[in-house]
Structure 1
Amino acid sequence: MTSPAIARADADAAPAAASGPAPAMTQRNLAFQGFRQQIIDARIRPGQFVSQRELMQLLGMSLAAVREMVPRLEAAGLIKAVPKRGLQVATVDMKLIRNAWQVRAMVEREAVLRFAEVATPATLQRLIDDHEAILQRALQPQPDPGLEKDAQAVDWGLHDLMVDSIGNEILSEIYRVNSLHVRLIRYDADSMRPMQVVPAMREHLEFLRALQAGDRAGALARMMSHIEQSKHRVLSGMLQGGAPLAA
């Protein structure tokens, strides 16, 4: 049986059709989603200090909405209050890297097993086509200013789809919060540049083709290897950039 997440993904890939209005979100949730997008777009840096009023301007939200959002960010470990300094975005260290990738491995192991059961041939082929298109762009000699953003969308789109295919909203929320930590770490490591896109896309394609061939054990092994390799790429990028890696 196809999961709702797969059905939505297939529908999103189909030609647009008329639909009703999206459900309303609370101001706090809108502010949180705005903060999340700032991390995704690399406009908020690890370790950055920011005031509530600066967040209000950055997110285009009211001060009340920002104040309601802050406890959620603190609970998620994305920011902390520093006396006389304001709010500090999470800093990157070895503990954060270890914890974030451990959560990834635990959640995505279960996600791969479920995704292998519910992913349709059309979904797998669409994902393969998307990855191959990004890979070909990354291999071109001329600069591609849109590559990094598009590669991130394809990269994280696969992981999010797999986790959502489990059908557990609590687990999906845990994963998405953790993915923000991973994105902060990746930002520090500068890890989605073209030279990093190529191995990531190739590893994803190996995983997807294993699924397409019905090799679930091979697909699981390839995804676990990809997660480990992505951690090594981040560590390598941070060390090359001279970033401190305190334990």
Structure 2
Amino acid sequence: MDQDDRLRHSASFGAAAAAYAEHRPNYAQAAVRWALERAPGPRVLDLGAGTGKLTATLVARGSDTVAVEPGPSMLTELRRALPSVRALAGRAEAIPLPDGSVDAVLSGNAMHWFDMAVAGPEIARILAPGGTLAGLWNVMDDRVDWVAGLARVSGTAAIGPRDVPTSWRTETADLHLPRTGVAARFGSPEQAAFPHGQRRTADSLIATLATRAGMLVMPEQEREATLARIRAYLASRPETADGEFTLPMLTGVLRVRRL
């Protein structure tokens, strides 16, 4: 994906901020603990915070949390949901915080939107020595048969390579650093995945998939056809045809330490 496409997709969430807040899952507690276990202190930045899904988890665990989000609609939703959190307008490429002011930078389902050639030095600048940079991604567990079928039916606009565990490691492995001198400021990356799940109905799962960037930028007729195909598939599966079910998920984490 080139820079223009990245910007177009990342900007698409604003129109769906309320739906994003309602339908997107939170993050596995064990994943957040692992992401932060080596951080030298409690000061955490949620970068590309969206509507505050990860921010809320950080606040609940007692972290001294600040959120930075570029989208006005997403930021408004975050401030409404978490009025006590310091929430700032800003981008990963221009973070409105002083040098060395946080012990960890976490990013929930957002790091792949960053221009890391620019954001990498910015993150290194605001991190204290020994600080942690971690990206977290909620992925659907396609080791489960019906989830694998859903991924095939949905297409990559709804369930892309970063959305399933069979490929998220490869897709995210190099996202933490630009290929510049800033790489010398970070150690070797580590990856881990933690069991997670979300209670859904067929309707709410369809609503979740409709908030994916690829779906939001899709032409309306194609989008409706894709959602209809997903709806028919879910109606055909005994696991999802009636009432509530648990969507099998993992929270994957990419973690690296600032030297």
TM-score relative to the length of structure 1: 0.26
Answer with 1 or 2: which has the greater Rg. Answer: 1
Q: Which has the higher helix share?
A: 1
